[in-house]
A and B are shown apart, each in its own frame.
Chain A
Amino acid sequence: MIFDPILDIFRGKAITIPPMDGALKPNTMLDDAPAALEIEAPDNLVSDGRRLLFSTGNRVLALQPGGTPEEIMPLDAAVTALAVSAAGDLAVALDNGKLGILPREGNPRELPAVSGLTCPTALAFDAAGALYVAQGSAKHRASDWTVDLMQKNAEGSVWRIDLAGSGGATCLTQGLGFPNGLLVLKEGHGLIVAESWRHRLIGIPGHGARAPEPVLSKLPGYPARLTPAADGGTWLALFAPRNRLIEFTLLEDVYREQMMREVPREYWIAPALASGTSFLEPLQCGGVKTMGVHKPWSPSRSYGLVVKLDASLRPVASFHSRANGRRHGTTSVTELGGRIYVAARGGNAILALDAEATR
């Protein structure tokens, strides 16, 4: 009815979270998966075709399947994003806003600072060698993502840096709610951006002819990195779940501001990469535990979720670490040698799933 939007003002709107069902039906596959490596806060998994590259804190490491990790280079700030080009060059983004390139052969170089690009959260190369950069926030560092969410900012942007040509940077779109993942489509069809705070993926057309449009909306969590799958689909990592308490907190401005002023950040009612480690954390009583057993369906601040999307970006399968699991904070995923590797940043592990078993 045409009056519904007006009536909604008076009758109130229920806080609704899209259900995890169908292809998103919960399972325990991430908790059941063997760990390829246990290491503190692994993130930014990428593959150069031979080995896995990932970051942990200020370091970038390489891992041969079945081997031990070796450090590629130490950096002066936490690594926020990695990408490998078709030529094998590694792009690195840091929490202090710096961008650098480690060529396949040659010395590392820092890219010139781009005005207005201070919070890189995701990187991707296109076939021509141009580098796409997602900027999560115009106000905060990538590591301050919780603050950006609680302030309800939508000042993210996506940039293109012409590495092969002039080296100039162009802002493709802005006003995004913390873009946190990039996927360059083949044949110049544009790119897909994971917009975390709006729980959706948007498509940016190849030639900038049209405005960005949502391609997958109403995700039940906060989307992070996107990676192409071997079969033509896409892997999407979601780093935290949505739940009603957090959604409610996001509606209550006065309460949220007071919470941010007076409560230490790790105890905010906000999504987290891991939870349940301190008795001071919110969401520990009520329906979370019954007779000492942590219920898998209970509301949680952290979760592990990797979603397989088909070629038309429709979810077809998913792998979970539920509220009672440990492999939470899944920030990135990549495929190498018939295995799917998942970085569980909150679970301090890189997980290896058999690609066949996930079909």
Chain B
Amino acid sequence: MSEAIVEMRKITKLYRGVPAVKAVDFDLRKGEIHALLGENGAGKSTLTKVLAGVIEATDGTMSWHGKDVSFKTPFEALEQGIAMVFQETSLVPSMTVAQNLYLGSEKFLNRLRGIYISAQQFLQSLNFPVDPTAIVSTLGAAKRQMVEIARAVHHNAEVIIFDEPTASLTPEEKRHFFALMHRLKSRGVSIVFISHALEEALAHADRITVLRDGELVVTGDTKEFDREKIVRAMVGRTLSGEIYNKKRSAAEIRKPGARVLSVQDISMGAVVRNNSFSIYEGQITGVFGLIGSGRTETFKVLSGIYKRDFSRGGDIELHGKPVRYYVPREAVRDGIIYVTEDRKTEGFFETMSIAENLYSAVLAAGLEQRPYISLREMREFARQWTGRLNVKAINDNARVVELSGGNQQKVVIGKGLIQKPKIVIFDEPTRGVDVGAIAEIHQLINRLADEGLAVIVVSSYLPEIMNLSDRILVCRQGRIVEEFAPDEATEEKIMYAAVH
């Protein structure tokens, strides 16, 4: 095998002192497909973002063709020949496909018709059925992914990093994608390929690297791996902190109360497909699934954020009565709240204070009957809730954006709890949260279940699911495929159900 063109040595990246990757060594050889595997939060994206110049490493060195380099921007990396195709596409939504393809490499004078013709030829050469004159915002996820891939190929990159490229592709599109990947490889392009689909890695990669909790676990030729070995490497953590090492006795596992929610065959496009399950009060139902498994979308349908299929979209029954929510407000009024996984976009108003954010939940739930707001009462109200949730801030007038991730998350959770819920859906409740806050949030979640609420914890972090859940559901390809009792569940079993 040819020698390494990229070598990363002891790469460490800290976020607010919390390591996302810790002293990871990684190398990429010319013309190889290198699969990078690991659970969500294992550090795969962080490592590749360092390579692509999106973020700077806190520590460690990187060499490119034997020379030490440190990319400050993605443009610097791209100039050298390293391109990254992001999981969330970075296209300009208001521009056409062709304009996006040539963005950054425009000539002094551009003829739109010429750009369209050459874009059409280029897309056809890749076998991508995308109209170059289409506005990107009108394209579906798969086609946007294709444009993103085409843009990386168009820059004649020597290294292309694909972050979960197949999550939104159909089987037919995946076949095209892998054919393209092998064509690029035959041209000498090196490919880093992040995926949750183990079969894809085993079938297409030359080498596999597995990361866990930000650390390198193993690197080797694909022929040295099988599915079981990869799963073991992905989940076989030695220590994930004191929080996750508690063993619960059978008596600590809560018995189910009454069935509050019955979901029968709900469907939403190709993302949620005939999904059926029940939720019981007085216990925590943990839902595990990898990215693209439809777990978040399922619970967004339940809480009125997304709409299930208009025709034959299935049934949702709350306390035995059929419900269909068109906006989240209707679900909130029925006592269903959804604590988002993406707090920065959906969780709070970042320019508003903690008090204003908390009080906005009161207004949204229709709990304020008066036609005016008393600022004094609002501050008092905020003081009570920040005390109850132990939000650490200078005062209640501090803007939420200034808080740490953990305290931001507490505000988001507080906004939900203010609305007097009966069913609380936590989606990735501790993502981007420091260890201290994780323990507090877990305590809060347990307290809610002890108080008799139906609590749902959606997480892609297995120890969290194992630690909190009284009942574990595993989501794959848009539906719940397996249910485990906590005493029978192991990380291997859950992961196997999630990927098999």
Contact = CB atoms under 8 A, between A and B. Distances in A.
Interface stretch (A18-26, A226-234, A261-269): A18-26
A19 B471 contact: no
A209 interface: no
Interface in B242-299: 255-256, 258-259, 262-265, 267, 276-278, 280
Contacts of B182: none
Interface residues of A, number: 19
Interface in A1-41: 1, 4, 11-19, 21-23, 25
Contacts of B414: none
Interface string B297-327: 0000000000000111111010010101010
Contacts of B492: none
B428 interface: no
B256 A19 contact: no
Contact of A16 (B278, B280, B315, B324): B315
A165 B324 CA distance: 53
B324 A1 contact: yes
A14 B314 contact: yes
Contacts of A19: 262-264, 276-278, 480
Given A21-B483, A217-B320, A218-B262, A14 B280 contact: no
A25 B483 contact: yes
Nearest to B283: A22
B326 A1 contact: yes
A16 B314 contact: yes
B484 to A, nearest CB: 9
A197 to B, nearest CB: 19
Interface in B438-485: 471, 473, 480, 483, 485
Nearest to A218: B262
A316 B485 CA distance: 14
A314 interface: yes
A258 B145 CA distance: 50
A220 to B, nearest CB: 10
A47 to B, nearest CB: 28
A61 to B, nearest CB: 38
A217 B265 CA distance: 17
B278 A21 contact: yes
Contacts of A11: 310-312
A11 B483 CA distance: 32
Contacts of B267: 14
Interface string A306-341: 000000001010000000000000000000000000
Nearest to B323: A4
A193 to B, nearest CB: 19
A1 B277 CA distance: 23
A16 B256 CA distance: 23
A14 B326 CA distance: 18
Contacts of A217: 320
A17 B262 CA distance: 10
A21 B485 CA distance: 11
B471 A22 contact: yes
Mostly, the A contact residues are: loop
Interface string B321-354: 0101010000000000000000000000000000
A11 B314 CA distance: 11
Contacts of A17: 264-265, 276
Contacts of A15: 265
Nearest to B325: A1
A212 B157 CA distance: 73
Interface in A214-238: 217-218
B256 A23 contact: yes
Given A11-B312, A13-B312, A22 B264 contact: no
B264 A18 contact: yes
A152 to B, nearest CB: 20
A13 B316 CA distance: 12
Which residue, B264, B320, B471, has most C-beta atoms of chain A within 10 A? Answer: B264
Given A22-B259, A22-B278, A22-B471, A16 B320 contact: no
Contacts of B280: 22
Given A22-B278, A22-B280, A16 B264 contact: yes
Contact of B312 (A4, A14, A25): A14
B313 A14 contact: yes
Contacts of B264: 14, 16-19
A168 B343 CA distance: 70
Given A17-B264, A217-B320, A12 B312 contact: yes
Contacts of B471: 22
A23 B255 CA distance: 10
B262 A18 contact: yes
A21 B277 contact: yes
Contact of A12 (B255, B311, B315): B311
B265 A16 contact: yes
A218 B277 CA distance: 13
Contacts of B312: 11-14
A1 B313 CA distance: 15
Nearest to B274: A14
A314 B281 CA distance: 13
Contacts of B259: 22
A358 B315 CA distance: 32
Nearest to A314: B258
Nearest to A214: B320
Interface string A265-294: 000000000000000000000000000000
A22 B256 contact: yes
A22 B256 CA distance: 8
Nearest to B481: A297
Which residue, A11, A18, A217, A316, has most C-beta atoms of chain B within 10 A? Answer: A18
Contacts of B256: 22-23
A17 B255 CA distance: 24
Nearest to B275: A19
Contacts of B258: 314
A217 B317 CA distance: 12
Interface string B48-77: 000000000000000000000000000000
Contacts of A316: 255
B274 to A, nearest CB: 8
Which residue, B255, B315, B320, B326, has most C-beta atoms of chain A within 10 A? Answer: B315
Nearest to B262: A18
Which residue, B258, B320, B322, B483, has most C-beta atoms of chain A within 10 A? Answer: B483
A83 to B, nearest CB: 31
Given A19-B276, A22-B256, A14 B265 contact: yes
B318 to A, nearest CB: 13
Contacts of A21: 276-278, 473, 480, 483
Interface of A: 1, 4, 11-19, 21-23, 25, 217-218, 314, 316
13 contacts: A1-B324, A4-B324, A11-B310, A11-B311, A14-B267, A15-B265, A17-B276, A18-B278, A21-B277, A21-B480, A21-B483, A22-B256, A22-B280
Instruction: List the 9 shortest-distance A-B pairs measured between CB atoms, nearest first.
Output: A16-B264, A19-B276, A14-B312, A11-B311, A16-B265, A16-B315, A14-B314, A12-B312, A14-B265
Given A14-B314, A17-B264, 11 more contacts: A11-B310, A12-B312, A13-B312, A14-B265, A14-B312, A18-B262, A18-B278, A19-B264, A21-B276, A22-B259, A22-B280
